[in-house]
Amino acid sequence: MKFGMIAMAAAGLLAGCCCDCGVKVEPWGTTKRGEKASLYTIEGKDGLTLVVSDYGGRVVKCFAPGRDGKKADVTLGWNSIGEYETLGFSMGTLIGRYGNRIANGKFTLEGREWQLPINETTPAPRHCNLHSGPDGWDTHVWAASPFCSGDERGLVLTYVSKDGESGFPGNLSVKVVYTVKPGNVWRIDYEATTDKTTVVNPTHHSYWNLAGEASGSVLKQNLKVYADEYTPTDAGLIPLKNAPVKGTGFDFTELRAIDAKAAWMAAEKSLAAMDNWYDHNFVLRGKPGEMKPAVEMRDPASGRALEIWTTEPCLQIYGAQNMSAKLPAKEAGKTLCQFAGLALETQHAPDSPNRPDFPSTVLKPGETFRSATEYRFGVK
């Protein structure tokens, strides 16, 4: 009798019914690994709605209200698993076990060198591991469990990254919790433990366009970054020494249009490897581990605003300069474009395993990695 009840409940979920906590669940197809994926619709009490997949923890849609009360989907993405598998850009996904770049895909722990896949080689001289390579967390279907607590609703995602996966040491047990809270706040809590010394640097890779996806470029939207330093890179996009943002195109210490310093960026020859645009680490004010403001983004037309707060020490900004109208949008008949969104990735600095001067990403047995980031949506 119990088995029959469980089977009926499972059939209900696959048919698109809501679970007991009000999170809608529906099937989404099968990955190239043969894993079945689902979509979870998490609707907050004040209007914020997330559509999340257990396939890579992707945020497929994020609806936020504007000044007129109307909602728009403010994150980029696609409608099918196949598009995510073939079109790239780490669209809307969890990144792990290590976000961003590791030079030559190598690092040394406790006297042993570890070699990761090299998955970024063009244009030369790029030669690094980016976002953990072709077999990162974004390629797997996670165990998912919806929940509710008072006015909060969310999804618990769990995954065991096995020893040697993507070249990293240690069996890493990971839990990521997405919570939609009152006041149109989406919170991510990361937690991980390991049975062998390893490195951990997870992040989330949504692209934001507060005017709505497929609405055009974000260049005239406004940005403020709570950082007095950024990290210049070499031609291979590997970090050099931190430098002041003052007097550069990286100065977002006051709210300004994203393209307000486009002429300076275009003229700076050292940025040629980044198409003279943003793909850089910003060093946030405050202490690692404390919740603090990282960045604010606003769309003057709709009034939508997004504040990101985090316990992480850094923020990577990528300006989607490599996107084009060849990419489909979720909205039927529309495409994306260059600068179609802005990736705002809270994390530790790139190449930290090779940089003792940067905050450490090492995790040892008996320790627990914890990190939190909040996306606070509003109207300004």
pLDDT tens digit string along 75-99? 999 999 999 999 999 999 999 999 9
The one catalytic residue in 140, 205, 280, 348 is 205
The structural domains of the chain, ordered by start, are 25-380 (2.70.98.10)
**For range 200-206, the mean pLDDT:** 98
pLDDT tens digit string along 18-33? 666 789 999 999 999 9
d(CA 374, CA 170): 29
Q: What is the dihedral of CA 88, 94, 100, 104, to 10 degrees?
A: -70
Joined tokens for residue 151: 């006015």
Kindly report the CA angle at 110 between 116 and 345, in degrees rounded to 5? 50
d(CA 115, CA 166): 9
Burial status of residue 124 (CB atoms within 10 A of its CB: 0-12, 13-18, 19 or more):
exposed
pLDDT of residue 22: 80
d(CA 47, CA 209): 17
Residues 302, 66 contacting (CB under 8 angstroms): yes
Residues 280, 270 contacting (CB under 8 angstroms): no
Q: Is 345 a catalytic residue?
A: yes
Q: CA separation (Å) from 368 to 99, 160, 336?
A: 18, 14, 40
Per-residue confidence band for 341, with pLDDT thresholds at 50, 70 and 90: very high
| Cα 102 → chain centroid | 17
d(CA 303, CA 70): 11
User: Largest Cα–Cα distance of the chain, in whole Å?
Assistant: 72
Phi, psi of 337 (to 5 degrees): -160, 175
pLDDT of residue 1: 32
**For range 244-255, the mean pLDDT:** 97
Joined tokens for residue 219: 């260049």
Ramachandran assignment for 22, one of left (phi > 0), alpha (psi -120 to 50 degrees), beta (any other)? left
Burial status of residue 267 (CB atoms within 10 A of its CB: 0-12, 13-18, 19 or more):
exposed
d(CA 317, CA 114): 27
Q: CA gyration radius for the chain?
A: 20
Q: Does 12 score more than 70 pLDDT?
A: no
Q: CA separation (Å) from 143 to 127, 134, 275, 330?
A: 33, 20, 38, 25
d(CA 23, CA 44): 10
pLDDT of residue 13: 42
d(CA 368, CA 380): 38
- Percent of all residues in the chain with a pLDDT value above 70, rounded to a whole number: 95
The one catalytic residue in 296, 307, 312, 345 is 345
Q: Does 52 score more than 90 pLDDT?
A: yes
Question: Bridge-partner residues for 87, per DSSP?
Answer: none
Q: Does 230 score more than 90 pLDDT?
A: yes
Residues 46, 33 contacting (CB under 8 angstroms): no
Length of the chain: 380
Per-residue confidence band for 64, with pLDDT thresholds at 50, 70 and 90: very high
pLDDT of residue 18: 64
pLDDT tens digit string along 118-164? 999 999 899 999 999 999 999 999 999 999 999 999 999 999 999 99
Whether the pTM exceeds 0.75: the reply is yes
**For range 366-376, the mean pLDDT:** 98
Per-residue confidence band for 16, with pLDDT thresholds at 50, 70 and 90: low
pLDDT of residue 4: 36
pLDDT tens digit string along 294-328? 999 999 999 999 999 999 999 999 999 999 999 99
Question: Bridge-partner residues for 270, per DSSP?
Answer: none
90: Cβ contacts below 8 Å, ≥ 6 apart = 131, 138, 205, 343
Q: Does 14 score more than 80 pLDDT?
A: no
Per-residue confidence band for 273, with pLDDT thresholds at 50, 70 and 90: confident
Kindly report the CA angle at 163 between 161 and 166, in degrees rounded to 5? 70
pLDDT of residue 17: 56
Residues 159, 33 contacting (CB under 8 angstroms): no
Residues 285, 227 contacting (CB under 8 angstroms): yes
Supply the mean pLDDT for the chain: 94
